[in-house]
Amino acid sequence: MNVNQKIATTLLTYRLRQLLVAVLSVTFGISMYVAMNSFMAGVNNIQTEITFTSMPHIKIYNELSAEITPILSGPEDPGAILMVNNQRNIRYTEGIKNADAIKKELSQMTPVVGVAAQVNQNVFIRNGVSKASATLSGIETLNENQVFNSSEYMVEGDLYELDRRSNGIILGTGLAQNIGVGMGATVYVSNSEGMSKAFKVIGLIETGANAADRSRALVSIQTARQFFSKNRSYATDIMVSVRDYAKAASIAGDISGLTNYKVEAWQEGNSQLDAANLLRDILAISVSLTIMVVAGFGIYNIMNMTVNEKIREIAILKAMGFNGGDVIEIFLTQSVVIGFIGGLIGLVFGNIIIRIIDNIPFNIATLSTLPVDYRTSDYLLAFCFGMIITFLAGYLPARKASRIDPVEILRG
């Protein structure tokens, strides 16, 4: 410890109460930064999680192309007029024909973590007189769980029961409520061709995404193929999940090289989700930075007061031969120490606050407590910002102290 640091510590510890107030203002700023950002990250995570319980990162399907290919080429004779009435775009092939081959290729790509084929069709579900339209999804239970984590959202029953019972059906909780059925009830499902089949409700699922919960009915993929009289590797959609959902768009670009079917990343048509996440992050960072700047003003104020109070001591030090640089070091050391101690305590407090938030009951959607995320980067950033702000807040008063003219003060 050099002499300037020794002087700094002596001055700092001489007024413990003032030191405590300064440290607390940093602690407050840093802990709020950590808490705000962890909470917002938690909210973002839950939002994405809910989104991706029914929406895949990437979806592959057969799209009816929008442009109409003319049936006849233009007439050879420029004087002739070509007229085609009631021209239409008719889809000859439905669904994805070579689903198995595409699945196999996809599962070999490194960023892909899950691939699930689905047979989706709009149907009517009846229970006595009450009926509702729904989307019947034939799913491969194992793969489905890999992509959507579906088994976690089962409120009642078991997802894999679908494989064992060809007349089993799992309903979204909203849908079940709509038609007034519960576990074990029998419902009738009719397709667009007018065929009807009885199913037994063997499970209820709730993902938290309301629209899906009100319209979804799950059966096994074989059952769906039979019901719609399709062949063995028929699928309407292939759902893909990737390691980092933010990169879905570029991965979708890679996949579209493999197939002629439409490859759609979640960002397409869902930019509001992306925007919401970003906005929440901006909000969290700006609010917490504001808090830190306010804390910085606190330190500035305290250091300024200290300099004014210690003006005689500064003059004496200068009279003894300490120069301007020494004085800056003495006062800057004080604020850096304050920032460091306050910062460390702030990190601990921030952690305690988010642990408390993590335990506050919040029974909406699939949540039971408020969501938070424990991220090391939040702590590192909070600490860095805290140190930078205390440094700046300490530098200005220190510079002022270094410019004090000792004779002015000592002459009295």
Partner 1 sequence: MTALSVKQINKYFYKPVDFHVLKDISFEVEKGEFVAIMGKSGSGKSTLLYLLSTMDTDYEGSICMNGSTITGLKPDQLARYRNEHIGFVFQFHYLLPEFTVLDNVMLPALKLKKKSKEEIEHEAIRLLNLLDIKDQAPKVASKISGGQQQRVALARALINSPDIVMGDEPTGNLDSQNSQIVFDILRELARDEGQTIIAVTHDDEFAAKCDRIIELEDGELVS
Chain positions contacting partner 1, by CB under 8 A: 3, 6-7, 10-11, 14, 312-313, 316-326, 406-407, 410-412
Q: Which is nearer to partner 1, 49 or 326 (CB)?
A: 326
Shortest CB 15 distance to partner 1, Å: 9
Q: Are the C-beta atoms of residues 76 and 84 closer than 8 Å to each other?
A: no
Q: Are the C-beta atoms of residues 11 and 401 closer than 8 Å to each other?
A: no
Distance CA 230, CA 219 (A): 15
End-to-end CA distance of the chain: 33
Q: Which is nearer to partner 1, 5 or 47 (CB)?
A: 5
Q: Are the C-beta atoms of residues 122 and 134 closer than 8 Å to each other?
A: yes
Residue 131 Cα distances to 120, 189, 286, angstroms: 19, 9, 50
Shortest CB 10 distance to partner 1, Å: 6
Q: Which is nearer to partner 1, 81 or 407 (CB)?
A: 407
* Closest to 249 (Cα-Cα) out of 229, 277, 271, 279: 271
Record the tokens describing residue 202, joined without a space.
């063997």
Shortest CB 399 distance to partner 1, Å: 14
Q: Which is nearer to partner 1, 7 or 209 (CB)?
A: 7
Distance CA 319, CA 299 (A): 28
Shortest CB 366 distance to partner 1, Å: 59
Shortest CB 318 distance to partner 1, Å: 7
| Beta pairing partners, 169 | 201
Q: Which is nearer to partner 1, 10 or 122 (CB)?
A: 10
Q: Which is nearer to partner 1, 11 or 252 (CB)?
A: 11
Query: Is the backbone of residue 174 left (phi > 0), alpha (psi -120 to 50) or beta?
Result: alpha
**CA geometry: angle at 267 spanning 263 and 268, to 5°?**
55
Shortest CB 28 distance to partner 1, Å: 27
Q: Which is nearer to partner 1, 6 or 200 (CB)?
A: 6
- The SS3 of residue 77 is coil
Shortest CB 394 distance to partner 1, Å: 19
